[in-house]
Each structure stands twice: as C-alpha cells, then as structure tokens.
Amino acid sequence: MLKNLDRSSGSVTRTSFYGLIAAALFMTACSSNRVYDAPRVSAFRGNQLPAPPGMVYIPSGTIFYKSSQDSSDIGKNVSLSAFFIDQTEVTNKQYRQFVNWVADSIAVTDYLNDDQYFLDQPGNNDEDSVLTNENRLIDWKRVKKESPLWQSSNPEIQEKLRPMMTVEAGKRVLNKTLLNYRFSYLKMDGKNNDQYVTDVVGVMPVEDIWSKDFPNAQMSSMDANYFRHESFDYNPVVGVSWKQARAYTDWRGKEIMNELQKNSYLKGYQLTFSLPTEAQWQYAAEGKLDPADTIQKTRLTIDDKKSDKKRLAVNFKQGEGTYSRDGSTFTVPVKSYTPNAFGVYNMAGNVSEWTLDAFSPSAIEFVNDLNPVLLYDADDNASYALKRKVVRGGAWKDNGSMLNSDARNYEQQDESHSYIGFRCVMSAFEMTTPQVKTRKYKDR
C-alpha cells in the first residue's frame, strides 16, 4: 500500500506510521516498566500489627523445641512465622456465645419454621420450592436481636421450642444431645491427607466435671454454677474436650473473618483459625522480645512495693493442700496478674491448655524446623495412644514444676477436665523489619 503513494505524501505517511510504532513501543515499555519497577522496602512503622478483638500479634521468632521434659538437653531450634493469639484463655462467657449460636441455629432450622429468621425465601418456581430450612441462609442480624431464642419470654416461641428443652435439678435447660456443631476439615491420618471430612461434635461442656475430677471432695457448688453463673463469666471455660475446642475455633474463625472482611486492614486475606500448635504456644508463653534470649522460666512472684513483700503472681498449687495463697482456690478471671512481654495472660497456671498437636514422645524427630506441628486425626474408636493430644502449661491444681513454658503433657481428644481450657490462634503476615529495608550499596 505504501509503494503506491507519491514521494511527498509517502514521506509524511511513513513518518506518521513509524511515529505511531515508536509511540506504541514507548507506551508499551512504560507500561511494562511499571511491572518491573518494584518499590524500595521500608520498615514497618510500629512494633506490632493491630490485632483482631481479644488477640495480640506475635512476631516471627525462634525457640528451643524438645520432645520431653525429661530430656532437657535433647531438642532443636525451630522457627515460627508471625501469628495472632488470644490474650486470654477462652472464657465461660465467650463459650456460651458458641453454645447459644448452635442452639439458635437448631431453633430456627428445626423448630420455629418462621420465614422472618431467614435471608432467602422460598418462591413459587420449581427451583425455589425445593429449598429446605437446612440449606437456607439464616438472618443472623434478626436472630441476634432475640438471642438466645431458647430463653425468649415470648410464649409462642417458648411453646415451639419446648422439645429442645429438658429439666435438670428442677431447672428448664437445653437438651445437650441436640446441641451439635457440624464442620469440615482436611483429615490428617497418615493415609488420606488430601480428603475433607465432616465431623459432628456436641458442644456443651461437662458441667459436673469438678465432681468427676475430684470424687472425694465437695464440688457440687462448682458443678452447678461455674459455667452458667455470671460471676464466673470471665473465668476460663473448662470441661471442654479437644474436639469441642477445635469446633469452637472453627466457629469463631468464621465469625471473626466475616467481620474482618467488611472493614479491616486484613480484608482480602485468607487467614486460618485454629488451636495453637505446641510450638506456637511455647513461643507465646516465653514472651521473648529479643531472639537472643534463652528460655524464660516462669516468675512465680512479684514484688509488692506497698508491703515490701513478695506476692504470688501465678495461679497454681503451692504445696500439698495449699491452693489459696495465690488469691484463689480454683481458677481466676483470665486477666488476673500481669501479662508477659507479648501481652498474653496466664500462659502459666490457671488452666492447662489444649494444643493442635498429636502427642508423641519423639515428636521432635518428625516435625519440621519451620512452623512445626504433628497432626493426626484419630477416629473415635481408635486406640488410646492414637487419641492423645498435647496439653501445655500448668493449672491451678499443679505444682510449680509444671509451670515452665517447655513442660508438656497429654490427654485424650475426647476427654475433658476441670483444669484444661484453651485459647485460639489466627495466622498472620509478617511485618517488614529494619533488617530487610533497602539500603545504598557501599563497597566496604
């Protein structure tokens, strides 16, 4: 086409044509350069990320990790990436929210049959007509205005929910057998580690666990009041098995991520929520702000400047038959005493805590040196050894030797006790530190 043009017009045309090519190449280069023009790295301003409600940020770090407290010289250094952890053990009040959520779900889905509690309404077409309450979305904003529904003063609701109730010790209470939580997870059993399974877990804690743990002691008052009475709202929940604790973390993870996705600096991130691994638990318990620090032994006392005396600063058993010198005979509210350097309360004493790990005396041989965890999901009918889960931290009934951050024990996944509680962790992303900031090159 260009060959048929006269010289003058062809010259102009050629100039325009090649000018357009040059301009296009320039624009393409500029656009491409933006892809390769990575910004210089600056350090994060601040020493920790803002944490979700009730949690604190734990930066990445290193601990000395060992398999057994009887082999203090055998172990290895392991590194943990950053994570969030609950400031406190999960309280009775927090766990009751979970129980009431499960109860409300069952009430709306199985008993009330009232469209006002659902977001999606069945229509007249064939597709909508097959909607059942089980696969309809509950309008939680509406439900929470009346929650817990089973305690409603509305006579009509009371009558409809009568089948959910039973009588215990002369009181009308929820039927525990109905309160089941269903959730799915990737099963780890050494055989089928790529398959998701659905588990159904009863959520009510064992309320008479005090008398079961201490059969020759007068504990009926604790049985009757500890989980339900408001005076124990901020004490750690107990009587919860490992499976129940894991179900709670699944529920809370969904609840908190829904909130964080609405308006938060964490919006868009896919972050996991679970029980802490025992390595995460130990690292958070040690409170090492300086990576060069050695293992921190738990300080059992603090100096009282007013009285010029030492006072106990951890809830534990001081000696045979001596429980109350620390200020309480049983558990204490979760923000008692002083938090550690990370801002975490009661990692020693009060209650021991479930971790995510399966227990093995030789776990150190199996786990990685980065974010170590030993996962094994045992069936309910599995052997005793396969159902053991790691418990960390001493409790109100333990002596001082159990309070160190590296002390470990175990319990079966379906057992519960009056001295075992738990807290949650959520994955996090690391802050940019001064170590990796961009610097000018110096030939020295």
pLDDT digits (tens, 9 = 90+) for 162-206: 999 999 878 889 999 999 999 999 999 877 777 899 999 999 999
Q: How many percent of the chain have pLDDT more than 70?
A: 83
Number of domains in the chain: 2
Claim to verify: residue 165 and residue 227 sit in the same structural domain: yes
Q: Is the dihedral of CA 47, 50, 51, 54 positive or negative?
A: positive
Domain presence at residue 219:
yes
Q: How many percent of the chain have pLDDT more than 90?
A: 58
Claim to verify: residue 6 and residue 72 sit in the same structural domain: no
Claim to verify: residue 31 and residue 65 sit in the same structural domain: no
Say yes or no to pLDDT of 3 above 50. Answer: no
Domain presence at residue 367:
yes
Q: DSSP letter at 408?
A: E
Domain presence at residue 208:
yes
Claim to verify: residue 25 and residue 130 sit in the same structural domain: no
pLDDT (tens digit per residue) in 240-288: 999 999 999 999 999 988 888 887 778 888 889 999 999 999 999 998 7
C-alpha of 216 from chain center: 35
Could you tell me the residue range of the domain that residue 184 belongs to? 55-427
- Own/partner contacts of 59-64, CB < 8 Å, gap of 24 or more, are 59/430, 59/431, 60/430, 61/283, 61/288, 61/291, 62/291, 63/279, 63/282, 63/283, 63/286, 63/288, 63/295, 64/295, 64/406
Claim to verify: residue 252 and residue 281 sit in the same structural domain: yes
Averaged pLDDT for residues 14-40: 66
Q: CA–CA separation, 40 vs 222, rounded Å? A: 59
Domain presence at residue 293:
yes
pLDDT (tens digit per residue) in 208-238: 999 999 999 999 999 999 999 999 999 999 9
Mean pLDDT (the chain, rounded)? 86
How confident is the model at residue 310, as a pLDDT?
Answer: 67
Domain presence at residue 300:
yes
Claim to verify: residue 99 and residue 235 sit in the same structural domain: yes
Phi-psi region of 114 (alpha: psi -120 to 50; beta: other; left: phi over 0): beta
Q: DSSP letter at 420?
A: E
DSSP bridge partners of 201: 181
Q: Which stretch of 289-298, 355-364, 409-418 has the lowest confidence by average pLDDT?
A: 289-298
Claim to verify: residue 238 and residue 367 sit in the same structural domain: yes
Q: Which helix (H) or strand (E) holds 382?
A: none
Claim to verify: residue 30 and residue 164 sit in the same structural domain: no
Nearest to 355 by CA among 285, 422, 284, 273: 422
CATH code for position 388: 3.90.1580.10
Say yes or no to pLDDT of 375 above 80. Answer: yes
